[in-house]
A and B are shown apart, each in its own frame.
Chain A
Amino acid sequence: MDEIKSGLAEVVCDVLVIGGGTAGPMAAYKAKRHSPEARIVLLEKANVKRSGAIAMGMDGLNNAVVPGYATPEQYTKEITIANDGICDQAPVFKYASRCFEIIQELDGFGIKFQKNENGDFDVKKVHHLGSYVLPMPNGDTVKKALYRQLRREKVLISNRYMATRLLTGRDGQIAGAIAVNTRSAEFLVLRAKTVILCAGAAGRLGLPQSGYLWSTYENATNSGDGYAMAYHAGAALANLECYQINPLIKDYNGPACAYVAGPFGAYTTNSEGNRFIECDYWSGQMMQEFYNELQSGKGPVFLKLNHLHSETIGKIEAVLHHVERPTRGRFHENRGTNYRERMIEMHISEIGFCSGHSASGVYVDEFARTTVSGLYAAGDMASVPHNYMLGAFTNGAVAGEHAAEVATNIDLVDYDTADVVREQQRVLAATRREDGIPPNQLEYKTRRFVNDYLQPPKVTAKMKLGQARFAEIREDMENAMIVRDAHELMRSLEAASILDCAEMAASASLFRTESRWGLYHHRVEYPEKNDDDWFCHSILRKRDGRMIAEKRPVAPYIVPIDESERSAYDRQRIRRHA
């Protein structure tokens, strides 16, 4: 295993789904249900059984729009306000209107959602305005349940193939993708009528403070490959300066998790044991207050549970230590932290791109279409804000159905074989050197400079220095990197995606000369929100081989927001009592 072999095969399908985590399996499942005779291929660089952000399941839904608790209008309004108004509402409203049907479908797959004594869904309030949090008592079974459905529908699954570039036709429309086997380095060309990108977050962008490359908030396998592929195919990417930064357990770097513990009475405090934020729902404004407290004399910040009854804490532990990031129990045990006795030290994560919790990503409309004809995106890498897991499922379903329908009406597009040859040369160049710099060092250096120069508070001179350092690393990556086996080849391709994302983060952050979304885009020289000039999306794309930035108007709202409601998320800090 792992020795580099030569090989090139071609497969033909109707719909190609890239990424088998959360959105991808649902997209493939829905595409197959829509067109049972079609060939639907699900490509995954790990194994669909246990891949992606929810490899170990999920403790609950953070954004369930359940009739009786919330309406699609309310939810769309809440998300628009939480994103400082920069939000195309149509995809959010579409999500909000369809997600309950997806909840019921997941329930039918055997994934259970918490019900109260009346048999109704037991929705909790964590957001600033509405109630959208629904616990999942057997949330550890999500991946298994999905996998069963994929097998039943006979979706063609290709594990251990990493897509490296999309293929496009003469007019720029999608033609398929090139992939490389992560254990043999053999190539696969996948021709497809439509392609759905579900490759997850750019979670390996910043470097965790521990210095361990793999201790990221997001699953470390989510290295931003989807953003890089979409960019190189000419797709528009929206608001990448709106970083993801999350509160987390310091050093462990997993969620604390206030959404689970909050409804039981836990809350975030400073070192004096006092609350300092109104609401534990993650937004840039909340993160700014969190950051301010960490930097103040009242830091560090803690999650406080030790005022709760031991039995209540037992219930919280039963969730937190078994689902999503179950090793957190071991982490606390090593340090002798018992929730009953001590508060849990928290911190903020490294930066990343992830619409799951923030708002940046490959630009999509309400049908999950990108700006490249025939190319779709869903889940953490698509631009629908505050997606979370249910957004990945719902928007994956939207993408799968639409892509399958379109595929029934079009023919395969021819690609240029020279593109495949060029891509093979790019991928294999580092394997043909006798010595050089291994990918892990290039990755470490990229990510250290991401921390040094791109983390908020953002400073123009620093970001420009970052760009200069990234250009030097790119020189080394293209001319001096060495790769010795197929596994390291995968890492080298991930390092290239990370570097692409770092350059996009710098460009997008420099472009928007205002501050918005709290900490996510806090620009020191432009400290105020400037709606006159910047009430718009910022869009990055590749044109003639260069990265360009431009403005795109926010689509007219379909759910109006009153002037008095717009600043609800600006009031996060607890007011001092006179």
Chain B
Amino acid sequence: MPIAHTPTAVPVIVDEAKCIADKGCTVCVDVCPLDVLRISDLTGKAYMKYDECWYCMPCETDCPTGAVTVNIPYLLR
């Protein structure tokens, strides 16, 4: 069975101008209990790779530059 990809609007947003992942920061990726954030090979910035969010907020709270915002996932908003 071939696998399709269904688009979703992800709840965690990263402000790339503020994100310092390209300077070696991995705080948001490290603290996520569900391990859904990654650093993009393309941009060097953090992004939400897997839409598996408990909207719990360590990524936003612990980000040293205030680059991360946790929104409520659309299905529950």
Contact B2 A216, beta carbon cutoff 8 Å: no
Residues on the B chain within 8 Å of A335, using CB: 77
Residues on the B chain within 8 Å of A47, using CB: 30-31, 33
Bound complex: CA A47 to CA B30 (Å): 7
Which 6 residue pairs across A and B have the least CB separation, nearest first? A50-B58, A50-B31, A212-B75, A46-B33, A327-B55, A251-B76
In the complex, per-residue mask of B29-46: 1 if CB is within 8 Å of any chain A CB, else 0: 011111100100000000
Nearest residue (CB) in B for A218 is B54
Residues on the B chain within 8 Å of A56, using CB: 56-58, 61
- Report the minimum CB–CB distance from B20 to chain A (whole Å): 18
Nearest residue (CB) in A for B50 is A487
In the complex, per-residue mask of B42-69: 1 if CB is within 8 Å of any chain A CB, else 0: 0000000110111111100110000000
Bound complex: CA A335 to CA B77 (Å): 8
> A211 on the interface (CB 8 Å rule)?
yes
A213, A214, A220, A436 — most chain B CB neighbours (10 Å): A214
Bound complex: CA A344 to CA B58 (Å): 25
19 additional contacts (CB under 8 A) given A47-B31, A210-B75, A252-B76: A46-B35, A52-B33, A55-B56, A56-B58, A183-B35, A210-B73, A210-B76, A212-B75, A213-B52, A214-B54, A215-B55, A215-B76, A219-B56, A220-B52, A220-B54, A326-B61, A330-B72, A331-B72, A490-B35
Interface of B with A (CB < 8 Å)? 1-3, 30-35, 38, 49-50, 52-58, 61-62, 70-73, 75-77
Query: CB within 8 Å of B: which of A64-122?
Result: none
Majority secondary structure of chain A interface residues (helix, strand, loop or mixed): loop
Q: List 20 A-B contacts (CB under 8 A).
A: A1-B38, A2-B38, A47-B31, A49-B58, A55-B58, A56-B58, A160-B35, A210-B73, A210-B76, A212-B75, A214-B54, A214-B73, A219-B54, A219-B56, A325-B56, A330-B71, A330-B72, A334-B72, A435-B1, A490-B35
- Report the minimum CB–CB distance from A65 to chain B (whole Å): 29
CB within 8 Å for A220 and B70 given contacts A56-B57, A326-B57, A437-B1:
no
Nearest residue (CB) in B for A47 is B30
CB within 8 Å for A220 and B73 given contacts A56-B57, A435-B1, A435-B3:
no
In the complex, per-residue mask of A463-486: 1 if CB is within 8 Å of any chain B CB, else 0: 000000000000000000010000
Bound complex: CA A490 to CA B50 (Å): 13
Bound complex: CA A208 to CA B73 (Å): 13
Residues on the B chain within 8 Å of A1, using CB: 38
CB within 8 Å for A216 and B54 given contacts A251-B76, A330-B71, A330-B72:
yes
- Report the minimum CB–CB distance from B64 to chain A (whole Å): 14
Residues on the A chain within 8 Å of B77, using CB: 251, 331, 334-335
Contact B33 A55, beta carbon cutoff 8 Å: yes
Bound complex: CA A209 to CA B32 (Å): 24
Nearest residue (CB) in B for A209 is B76
Contact B75 A50, beta carbon cutoff 8 Å: no
Contact B35 A327, beta carbon cutoff 8 Å: no
CB within 8 Å for A212 and B57 given contacts A50-B62, A435-B2:
no
Residues on the B chain within 8 Å of A213, using CB: 52
Query: CB within 8 Å of B: which of A34-74?
Result: 46-47, 49-52, 55-56
Q: Which residue of B35, B53, B57, B73 contacts A487 across the interface (Cβ within 8 Å)?
A: B35
Nearest residue (CB) in A for B36 is A487
Bound complex: CA A438 to CA B35 (Å): 18
Residues on the A chain within 8 Å of B55, using CB: 215, 327
> A221 on the interface (CB 8 Å rule)?
yes
Contact A438 B73, beta carbon cutoff 8 Å: no
A49, A160, A183, A490 — most chain B CB neighbours (10 Å): A49
- Report the minimum CB–CB distance from A476 to chain B (whole Å): 11
Q: Which residue of B2, B34, B73 contacts A221 across the interface (Cβ within 8 Å)?
A: B34
CB within 8 Å for A212 and B35 given contacts A50-B58, A327-B56, A438-B3:
no
Q: Which residue of A55, A214, A252, A437 contacts B53 across the interface (Cβ within 8 Å)?
A: A214
In the complex, per-residue mask of A227-264: 1 if CB is within 8 Å of any chain B CB, else 0: 00000000000000000000000011100000000000
Contact B54 A221, beta carbon cutoff 8 Å: yes
> A358 on the interface (CB 8 Å rule)?
no
Residues on the A chain within 8 Å of B62, using CB: 50
Bound complex: CA A216 to CA B33 (Å): 14
Nearest residue (CB) in A for B3 is A438
